[in-house]
Amino acid sequence: MKALMSLGALIGVAGLLLLGGMIFNVIPSNTVRLVEGYMPMQMLFEFACFVAGFAGLSYMMSAMGMALPRFWQGIGFWAFVLLYLKFRVYPPIPFSVRAMYGTVSLVAVFMWVSASEEDWKKFKQPIMNVLDAQTGLNKLLRYAYLIVLPILIGGFSYNAMMPKSEEPIELRTVHPAPPASTKVHGKTYTLQTSQNPYRVNPEGKYDQEYTNANIVEQGMGRLMKPNANPWDEKNQGYLKYVREGGEIFFQNCHFCHGDNLNGRGLHAFAFNPIPANFTDPGTIAQLQETFIFWRVSKGGIGLPNEGFPWASVMPPWEQHLTVDEIWKVILFEYWHTGYYPRTWD
Amino acid sequence: MGLLTGKRVFSIVALCMMVGLLLLPIVIALPSPAIGEEAPAGDAAKKDGDKVEKGRDVYYKTEGIVVGAPAPKTTDGPKDYPRYNFESRVLIWFANQQHLYYGSFVLAVPIFCMIIEFMGVVTKDKALAKRYDQLAYDFIKISLTAYSLTAILGGILIFTFLTLYPAFFGYLSSIFRPVMHIYALMFVAESGTLYIYYYGWDKMKEGFLKWIHLSMSVVLNVIGTLLMFLANSWIGFMMSPAGVDEQGRYLGNIWHVIHTALWNPLNLHRILGNMAFGGGVVAAYAAYKFLAAKTDEDRAHYDWMGYIAMALGVAFLIPLPFAGYWLMREVYAYRQQMGITLMGGLLAWLFIIQATMIGILFLSSNYYLWQAMGRMRGAEKYQRYIKYLVFLLICGFLVFITPHTMVMTPAELKAMGGQQHPVLGNFGVMSAKNGGINVMITTTVLSFIWYMRGNKVSTVSWAKFGNIFMGVFFACAYVNIIWLAIYGYYIPANVRVGLSVPQVATTLSCLFFMFALNSVMMRGAKQMGPIEWGKISVRSQYALIMLATAFTWMMALMGYIRSSVRLFWHVNEIMRDNSPWAYTHTVGFAANMISFNVLFFWISILFVFWMGSLAAKKAPVEAKAGIPGSVPQPAASH
């Protein structure tokens, strides 16, 4: 047990030193890289390591007779969460999300320190000592709080109320609800039931399973499956159309959406927000092909009211591409990212 | 003996009368379609030969004879939308919400009564049986005043509809005429049964009569549940109409109109939701009484009452997310746009607030259980591990509430390099959220098991093996849930949706198998000390109040979301809302309105509680002396 706790303490100290380095800008945040494809679990894993580390540290300090009071443990842990979110995770997390996480962690700290009566008493003790002010130091602290707290609250209020010149926050709807049907080149497509006509097997039949089996591998590298190279001239059906879709993509779309389809094309940073990142699991992976067909055909100008503030400069591609070309480019996007379009079975 | 026989005859007659009351509306309503609708259509067919007009059902795609008028095409004006100098929609919203709160409460509480009364009847410990019986009586007493208020609010709601939305209500009632009649008559049957059930409590407290009394609660709940199903058919029709053609003309099949695409998921979701809500309100009542109690006896009684209500509420809260998941799945299957508007589009931010409220419910429940361990000697051994449960709960919670579309300034958007955050964006999708909520529910189950074995030490020979097995089972459950959440990113969406089944199965396995195993292990267990009812921290009672408030707020929020998803339609894709208020409110306005509704409900329910306490004060001394719960007993079981 002691060995385990010592190991935990070691992890805790190392983690704190690293975080300290990141906070004071001695060590860049990406020294310990957040590995693409594993980032979310990596973050939770790091968090778990820190908790285990703190438990070990606390145990060791108690064993050495230098136990940290519960009050400071609670405050310290909360401060750690705030600093971790601010200085460890990159790119920077928007304030609104950090505020949510910060509030939830404060609740967590409260639940932890007040879970048992004994713990709660320990936690309250320093507060009660200051309020009772039996010693000179506590008396001084009480007066200090009396002065400092109202000033702090006043400062926060002033800061919140003061008019700012920053651009206002936008509650943007990234995926507005599509219409039931859309008319492209004179033909009406029902979004719920239409299918990509090029999602076919070599025999020319619509085959979702066959096409799903031939997309690139998900995860690191996005490698092509064996015998599923669209640029092999012998391939027919789905892979042939992927190739044709790829040609259309690189002639029209990659300038903005990037050659890796991650939204970082040549012109991407001329826009705010930058173009959609198709490799993110929150974009095309969540949508039906017909949704993409509608968005590509109608572009930013065709967004519904719900899409306010219509922050998209994507052209209505129906004015430049044929229906077949649009379907093929969509086929390519799913193939290249390794995602499957949403279907309703 | 003769008296007993007389009582038996009386109770059987009473029960038969109730069943008759229940069947009466059905009998009366049955001829209604035949005389009122199909017959004229049939006559018309005979007279006009081939001139019978047929329509195609918008949902079932079947053909039927048109027997109703098309949905009115309303225009903004005093004819279709008479109004005060105020937004009519807000008035309807308020009246509807208050009626729903009280309706849910009075439907849920009799189900609790039935369960608790049954527990009292089957419990062998006589003292405990009396306590259960008294508790059930206390519950029904609370609901009685609320019942009158429900009826009053229902009347207000109908008048508000008739006076502010006459065209819409006229159309709805033209289609649901027989259903509305059945509804009204069933309400009469519900009232009759409730009053007999309540006032017959003392007269039917023993032997065979007690079973008759108990069976009355079953009848009462059957009527109540059917009432709710009928009311659900109206909102189901408004969201996903069926039984009408595309002009909104009724095609004569009342079952199609009732049995719409979303009716069954709504029914299940509302039953569970009502139960959880009812448990929360009664728990809050008990918490309020606990905090105001002046004697140890009162504290003990209300502590116990709060615990039972919370346990029942949480028992129904646990399956609630799964029922909600089914409802959403059906919504997506019915109309993709509706699903996207709800969860990815216009109303997505309200769903984040909803996720936050669900998280608060689970946090409050767990916190209460941890506090409740404080009244048991021996539970200290678990308390030092609570911090790890907090960690699991909070991780699940954080993933569950991470928004897909983050609120940010344009500068933050630029710094982030795109709309999606590469780390947190992954938490914003369904796969991660399923994992998050299942982790929270499994942790709640674990807390419950710790609570149940708090003051006990298992004496079975295989106790050590059992404990290891339980530990490994929970560890595997967590690994499985998290692994499936990750795996969900690598498979097609239709398969991913199906992954929720093994995740739910894992969680429910923990619930059922571990509860069963724990019960077997704790049979004949050594007690470290009694549960000292009443010796619980006041924080626990605030947690119960928090639980109830979160239930109330969430119910109003979800009601608003469900209603808003119709956007500018009174009846989706059939009857357009042409009033000036056919837009979706801002998130801020909706939140304020929901808070106002919650506040009003709690103020009015405090009035109901106060009325209940007046009745208790006037109770005869003899009856009071018989209250077994007034002396806390060492509980042999939870």
d(C-alpha B446, C-alpha B390), whole Å:
12
B373: left (phi over 0), alpha (psi -120 to 50) or beta: alpha
Query: For residue range B565-582, what is the model confidence (pLDDT) as tens digits?
Result: 998 999 999 999 999 999
Query: For residue range B454-470, what is the model confidence (pLDDT) as tens digits?
Result: 889 999 999 999 999 99
Q: How many CB pairs under 8 A join A and B?
A: 208
Residue B615 burial (C-beta neighbours within 10 Å; 0-12, 13-18, 19+) = exposed
Nearest CA in chain B to A217: B490
Residue A242 burial (C-beta neighbours within 10 Å; 0-12, 13-18, 19+) = buried
CB contact under 8 A, B363 and A89: no
Measured from the Cβ of residue A291, the count of other Cβ atoms closer than 10 Å reads 24
Q: Who wins on pLDDT, B178 or B36?
A: B178
Q: Who wins on pLDDT, A8 or B547?
A: B547
Compare CB distances from B346 to A97, A105, A177 and report the shortest one's residue. A177
- Residue environment code for B511-536, b if the CB has 16+ CB neighbours within 10 A, otherwise e: beebeebbeebbeeeeeeeebbbbeb
Strand partners, A181: A190
- For residue B627, pLDDT over 50 is answered with no
d(C-alpha B353, C-alpha B561), whole Å:
11
In this prediction, residue B49 has a pLDDT band, given cuts at 50, 70 and 90, of low
CB contact under 8 A, B422 and A44: no
CB contact under 8 A, B419 and A343: no
Tell me whether B367 touches chain A (CB under 8 Å): yes
B459 contact partners, CB below 8 Å, separation of at least 6:
B524, B525, B526
d(C-alpha A126, C-alpha A107), whole Å:
19
- Residue B582 corresponds to which amino acid? A
pLDDT at B23: 64
CB contact under 8 A, B386 and A166: no
Residue that the structure tokens 């530990």 belong to: B471
- Chain centroid offset of residue B396 CA: 23
- The secondary element (H helix, E strand) that includes residue A240 is helix A238-252
Tell me whether B582 touches chain A (CB under 8 Å): no
B489 neighbourhood in chain A, CB within 8 Å:
218, 281, 285
A293 contact partners, CB below 8 Å, separation of at least 6:
A182, A184, A189, A191, A194, A196, A326, A327, A330
Mean pLDDT of chain B: 87
- For residue B634, pLDDT over 60 is answered with no
Longest Cα–Cα distance in chain A:
89
- For residue B9, pLDDT over 80 is answered with no
What are the two backbone dihedrals, phi and then psi, of residue A206, each rounded to the nearest 5 degrees?
-60, 125
pLDDT at B98: 96
- The minimum CA-CA distance between B589 and chain A, rounded to whole Å, is 15
Tell me whether B81 touches chain A (CB under 8 Å): no
Contact (CB, 8 A) for A105 and B394: yes
pLDDT at B38: 44
B345 neighbourhood in chain A, CB within 8 Å:
173, 175-177, 306
- The minimum CA-CA distance between A89 and chain B, rounded to whole Å, is 8
Tell me whether B344 touches chain A (CB under 8 Å): yes
- Residue environment code for A2-33, b if the CB has 16+ CB neighbours within 10 A, otherwise e: eeebeebbebbeebbebbeebeeeebebeeee
Q: Of B301, B283, B323, give the one whose Cα is nearest residue B105.
A: B283
Instruction: Kindly state the DSSP code that residue B34 receives in the 8-state scheme.
Output: I
Contact (CB, 8 A) for A101 and A89: no
CB contact under 8 A, B405 and A171: yes
Compare CB distances from A177 to B337, B490, B492 and report the shortest one's residue. B337
Strand partners, A293: none
Strand partners, A182: A189
CB contact under 8 A, A340 and B492: yes
Q: Who wins on pLDDT, B429 or A344?
A: B429
Contact (CB, 8 A) for B241 and B288: no
- For residue B636, pLDDT over 60 is answered with no
CB contact under 8 A, A273 and B419: yes
Contact (CB, 8 A) for A31 and A18: yes
Tell me whether B404 touches chain A (CB under 8 Å): yes
B500 neighbourhood in chain A, CB within 8 Å:
none
A232 contact partners, CB below 8 Å, separation of at least 6:
A239
Calculate Rg over the CA atoms of chain A. Answer: 28
- The minimum CA-CA distance between B231 and chain A, rounded to whole Å, is 29
Residue B417 burial (C-beta neighbours within 10 Å; 0-12, 13-18, 19+) = buried
Could you write out the DSSP letters of every residue in B297-315? HHHHHHHHHHHHHHHHHHH
* Stretches in chain A below the pLDDT threshold 50: none
Query: For residue range B507-545, what is the model confidence (pLDDT) as tens digits?
Result: 999 999 999 999 999 998 998 888 899 999 999 999 999
Point out the least confidently predicted range of A17-26, A62-71, B271-280, B614-623: B614-623
**What is the rounded average pLDDT of the residues B188-216?**
89
Helix spans in B34-75 (H): 39-48
3-state secondary structure of A181: strand
Compare CB distances from A277 to B340, B404, B418 and report the shortest one's residue. B418
Regarding beta strands B54-56 and B63-65, do their DSSP bridges make them parallel or antiparallel, or are they unpaired?
antiparallel
Q: Of B275, B261, B192, B194, give the one whose Cα is nearest residue B232.
A: B261
Residue B60 burial (C-beta neighbours within 10 Å; 0-12, 13-18, 19+) = middle
- The minimum CA-CA distance between B347 and chain A, rounded to whole Å, is 9
CB contact under 8 A, A120 and B537: yes
d(C-alpha A179, C-alpha B103), whole Å:
36
Residue that the structure tokens 């279709």 belong to: B80
3-state secondary structure of B494: helix
CB contact under 8 A, A342 and B494: yes
d(C-alpha B504, C-alpha B441), whole Å:
10
Q: Of B409, B521, B523, give the one whose Cα is nearest residue B464.
A: B521
Q: Of A119, A131, A138, A9, give the one whose Cα is nearest residue A66.
A: A9
- For residue B184, pLDDT over 50 is answered with yes
Instruction: Kindly state the DSSP code that residue B536 receives in the 8-state scheme.
Output: S
- The minimum CA-CA distance between A342 and chain B, rounded to whole Å, is 5
Longest Cα–Cα distance in chain B:
88
What are the two backbone dihedrals, phi and then psi, of residue B456, each rounded to the nearest 5 degrees?
-125, 155
CB contact under 8 A, A44 and B395: yes
Q: Of B135, B35, B85, give the one whose Cα is nearest residue B635.
A: B135
Instruction: Kindly state the DSSP code that residue A342 receives in the 8-state scheme.
Output: P
Q: Where do the CATH 1.10.760.10 domains begin and end in chain A?
A: 181-337
Q: What is the 3-state secondary structure (H, E, C) of B592-636?
A: HHHHHHHHHHHHHHHHHHHHHHHHHHCCCHHHHHCCHHHCCCCCC
pLDDT at B228: 95
B395 neighbourhood in chain A, CB within 8 Å:
44, 47-48
pLDDT at A344: 66
CATH architecture of residue range(s) A181-337: Orthogonal Bundle (1.10)
Query: For residue range B324-377, what is the model confidence (pLDDT) as tens digits?
Result: 888 988 998 888 788 888 887 788 888 889 999 999 999 999 999 999 999 988
Question: Choosing among B376, B409, B444, B486, which should be mutated to test the A contact, i.e. which has the most A CBs within 10 A?
Answer: B409
Query: For residue range B290-316, what is the model confidence (pLDDT) as tens digits?
Result: 999 999 999 999 999 999 999 989 889
B397 neighbourhood in chain A, CB within 8 Å:
104
CB contact under 8 A, B424 and A40: yes
Tell me whether B349 touches chain A (CB under 8 Å): yes
Query: For residue range B62-102, what is the model confidence (pLDDT) as tens digits?
Result: 999 999 999 999 999 999 999 998 899 999 999 999 999 99
- The minimum CA-CA distance between A127 and chain B, rounded to whole Å, is 18
- For residue B2, pLDDT over 80 is answered with no
Compare CB distances from A92 to B402, B416, B427 and report the shortest one's residue. B416
